[in-house]
Amino acid sequence: MGILEWATSPLGQRVPIHIAWFLIWVALIAGLVFLIVHAIYVRYFAGEMDFASDTSTSETLELPPRIPRHSLAARLFHWIMAAAMFVLLFTAFLPKVGIQFNWVTYHWIAGTVLTISILFHVVHATFYLDFWSIWPDRSDLEDTWKRLQRFIGKRAESPRKFAKYPLENKLYHGVVMLSGLAVIITGICMMFRVRTIFFPRNPYLFSDMTWGLMYVLHGLAGVGLITLTIVHVYFAVRPEKLPITASMIVGSMSREFYLKEHDPKRWVIEGLSHPRRTADGD
């Protein structure tokens, strides 16, 4: 059983037309297996992380009771994007598992909302937020290596507490970004094959082979987002992550949670009297 389905074009060329739909179940099972294995690991094998920290008492006292984490604009973007993503996944894959309805219009509207929200996020993150906070840096790699060494039982220095986003979050963001760009770019092109309010229908814009490859990439990225969405929701509802999830609703987290999980030298809270330092504390 292949992962692609093929057809013969009017010119006699064998072209891919889309992914094999059993991959929907593969993506669902992969997401469920991940959360089961991770939950078992956390419950029975993971110990309390021993972080290195040199936060001074004066720095701690300067912190407000609530630590701002997400602006209103960032929170609105997140929930609009999440709603669009769920609509896209349901309208794309429910008909493939037997739930039939007129899904095309809902799908391209949700895709348009997702595209606009992503464009807003790119501008907002670039010019109004700390753009580099979500990208891996040297400190992330050094601390991840220490954590790995300690995990396999070797002696290593204690890793520092996290910056605003741990490396795992940053890597997840990168994978979601690539998958999202794939579905958005291919989705915009595929809108030429249906009637929308944006441009005239033109199914002859690309060759049959190009259309086929586009559908395949769109489908592969789409089923990948099934697994990624399951993983994201799973971590959002884990008890130890609930303060982070709540901050995406109210915009802030408690000072106690911030000091437990994050290093004030790596995630500097704006507006305090002490000077801003780099990720390495210089």
| pLDDT value for 272 | 60
Q: Is residue 125, in this structure, part of any structural domain at all?
A: yes
Q: How many domains does the chain have?
A: 2
| pLDDT value for 51 | 84
Q: Is residue 80, in this structure, part of any structural domain at all?
A: yes
Q: Is residue 248, in this structure, part of any structural domain at all?
A: no
Q: Is residue 259, in this structure, part of any structural domain at all?
A: no
Q: Is residue 37, in this structure, part of any structural domain at all?
A: no
- Give pTM, 2 decimals: 0.90
Q: Is residue 28, in this structure, part of any structural domain at all?
A: no
User: Do residue 72 and residue 125 come from a single domain?
Assistant: yes
pLDDT in tens, 111-130: 999 999 999 999 999 999 99
Q: Which of 224, 250, 266 is the last residue of a domain?
A: 224
Domain extent at residue 110:
68-129
Report the alpha-carbon distance of residue 34 to residue 229 in Å, rounded: 12
In angstroms, what is the C-alpha Rg of the chain? 23
Q: Is residue 8, in this structure, part of any structural domain at all?
A: no
Q: Is residue 230, in this structure, part of any structural domain at all?
A: no
pLDDT in tens, 207-238: 999 999 999 999 999 999 999 999 999 999 99
Residues of the chain with pLDDT under 70: 1, 53-59, 61, 271-282
